[in-house]
């Protein structure tokens, strides 16, 4: 729908969307968000907590508006859209209101580093042998679990699982929450500086992080990609917690018992599906960000 715009150009390169057109797109976006998490958002307004879905807002420092608000993406102007001028990152151009092209230059370093990380991840085969044990490693030999829900196997049973199975976590932002007793058991000692060298597309958290990538690119990136990333992150988060040591049956989540052969087979099947969807979405986000990042290179050569 949208085309890439050079930062040196104040007008967009595609015909602006009329008020009727973009409002219809916005309404369609609102409908799909409501179908996915509308009930959750209504309960959230009344103060109700949900430890599975809340994670996508608390951990990523986002707000429901980041998902519910429709953005056209840079390169597309909106006619009759003064209301968007109240939002960060929008300006008035010759063809209407659009994302400020100056943001591309301001975020150039972030754009290029993000593209490099996504490309490195996309270039590796998925590893599917971790069985989601990172959540188990976060409660290994500790009396301070990260969540208030009971452990399905109790503390001793949870410890026994970690002691009997290899830890193969490749994601630093999960590894950094391992207990002191669990961290040395991981096959790799991960760090922030080695993140790009270790990220791989089979990891649930790496797939979830596509949502964070989109968040950081608002309003340069369109809501189609933001919503797709959120929806996939939600599916990944659900599997993440179903395979965790916690008993979430009170919330309606059936456990994926990775301590058993059948549970591990189920986990790999669902992990593979999420990884495949993540790979397709990662390529779409990469294509979009490369196009946006290229405009900074072109601007620097003029």
Q: What is the pLDDT of residues 107-141, one digit of tens each?
A: 999 999 999 999 999 999 999 999 999 999 999 99
DSSP letter assigned to residue 177: T
Query: Are the beta carbons of 136 and 244 closer than 8 angstroms?
Result: yes
Confidence of residue 144 (pLDDT cuts 50, 70, 90): confident
Please state, as a whole number, how many other Cβ atoms lie within 10 Å of the Cβ of residue 9: 14
Residue range 54-64: average pLDDT?
Answer: 93
**What b/e string do you get for 98-120 counting C-beta neighbours within 10 Å, with b at 16 or more?**
bbbbebbeebbeebeebbebbee
Please, what is the angle between helix 223-242 and helix 19-45, to 10°?
A: 30
Dihedral sign for Cα 25, 30, 33, 36, please.
negative
* Number of residues assigned to the chain: 302
Question: Comparing C-alpha atoms, which of 125, 126, 130, 127 is closest to residue 264?
Answer: 130
Answer whether residue 90 shows pLDDT above 70.
yes
Q: How far apart are CA 75 and CA 243, in angstroms?
A: 42
SS3 167: strand
pLDDT band, residue 6 (cuts 50/70/90):
very low
Do 16 and 78 contact (CB within 8 A), yes or no? yes
Instruction: Look up tokens 């056209």; give the residue.
Output: 72
Residues paired with 90 in a beta bridge: 99
pTM, two decimals, is 0.91
Contact 292, 114 (CB under 8 A): no
Radius of gyration of the chain (CA): 21
- Residues whose CB is less than 8 angstroms from the CB of residue 55 and which lie 6 or more positions away in sequence, other chains included: 237
Task: Render pLDDT for 15-27 as a digit per residue (tens, 0 to 9).
Answer: 899 999 999 999 9
Q: What SS3 class is residue 274?
A: helix
Q: Which of 206, 205, 198 is nearest to 241 (CA)?
A: 205
- Confidence check: pLDDT of 54 > 50: yes
User: What is the per-residue pLDDT across 159-213, written as a single tens digit (0 to 9) for each?
Assistant: 999 999 999 999 999 999 999 999 999 999 999 999 999 999 999 999 999 999 9
Token pair in block for residue 169: 């976590």
Tell me the C-alpha distance between 290 and 117, whole Å.
12
Scanning 123-260, the segments in alpha helix (DSSP H) are 134-137, 154-164, 172-175, 195-198, 204-216, 223-242
126: nearest Cα among 269, 287, 286:
269
Average pLDDT over residues 206-227: 97
What's the rounded Cα separation, in Å, for the pair 75 and 153?
A: 53
């Amino acid at each position: 729908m949208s085309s890439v715009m050079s930062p040196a150009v104040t007008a967009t390169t595609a015909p602006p969307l009329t008020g009727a057109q973009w409002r219809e797109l916005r309404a369609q976006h609102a409908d799909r968000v409501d179908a996915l998490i509308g009930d959750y958002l209504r309960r959230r307004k009344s103060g109700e907590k949900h430890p599975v879905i809340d994670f996508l807002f608390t951990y990523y420092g986002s707000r429901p508006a980041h998902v519910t608000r429709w953005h056209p993406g840079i390169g597309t102007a909106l006619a009759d859209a003064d209301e968007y001028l109240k939002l960060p990152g929008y300006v008035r151009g010759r063809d209407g209101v659009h994302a400020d092209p100056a943001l591309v230059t301001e975020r150039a370093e972030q754009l290029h580093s993000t593209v490099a990380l996504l490309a490195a991840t996309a270039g590796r085969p998925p590893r599917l042998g971790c069985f989601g044990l990172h959540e188990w490693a976060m409660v290994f030999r500790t009396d301070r679990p990260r969540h208030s829900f009971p452990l399905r196997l109790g503390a001793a049973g949870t410890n026994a699982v970690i002691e009997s199975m290899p830890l193969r976590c490749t994601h630093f932002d999960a590894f950094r929450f391992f207990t002191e007793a669990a961290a040395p058991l991981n096959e790799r000692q991960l760090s922030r500086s080695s993140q790009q060298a270790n990220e791989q597309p089979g990891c649930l958290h790496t797939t979830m992080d596509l949502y964070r990538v989109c968040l950081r690119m608002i309003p340069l990136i369109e809501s189609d990609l933001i919503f797709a990333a959120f929806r996939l992150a939600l599916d990944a988060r659900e599997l993440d917690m179903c395979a965790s040591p916690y008993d979430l049956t009170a919330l309606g989540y059936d456990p994926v018992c990775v301590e058993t052969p059948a549970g591990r087979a189920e986990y790999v099947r669902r992990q593979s599906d999420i990884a495949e969807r993540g790979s397709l979405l990662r390529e779409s986000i990469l294509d979009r960000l490369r196009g946006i990042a290229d405009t900074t290179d072109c601007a620097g050569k003029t």
